Amino acid sequence: MKTYDIYFSDGSSSDNKGFFIKTEEKAIRMAEDMLVKGNSYIEDYAGGTISVVDSEGNTVWSKPIPVQ
């Protein structure tokens, strides 16, 4: 069974939340909420990207993180 995690990158570094989310839809919804509400990763990776990656390493969704 695939799981999904949320990744942040800015070209020079990257991080992930360490989630094992069971559905792609829920992971995307969580990532979109993070973009709207903000968190420390959004601030740290402003100008980079936020992505949802499945357990096989495939990026299934990605958006740029706006610079505040």
The model's pTM is 0.94
Query: What pLDDT was estimated at residue 12?
Result: 92
Q: What residue ranges do the domains of the chain occupy?
A: 2-63
Q: How many CB atoms sit inside 10 A of residue 31's CB? A: 23
68 pLDDT above the threshold of 80: no
Residue with the two structure tokens 């495939």: 58
Is 50 in contact with 31 (CB distance < 8 Å)? yes
pLDDT 10s digits, 6-65? 999 998 999 999 999 999 999 999 999 999 999 899 999 999 999 999 999 999 999 999
The angle at the Cα of 55, spanning 50 to 56, to the nearest 5 degrees, equals: 105
**What pLDDT, on the 0 to 100 scale, is given for residue 50?**
98
DSSP β-ladder status, 49-54 and 14-16: unpaired
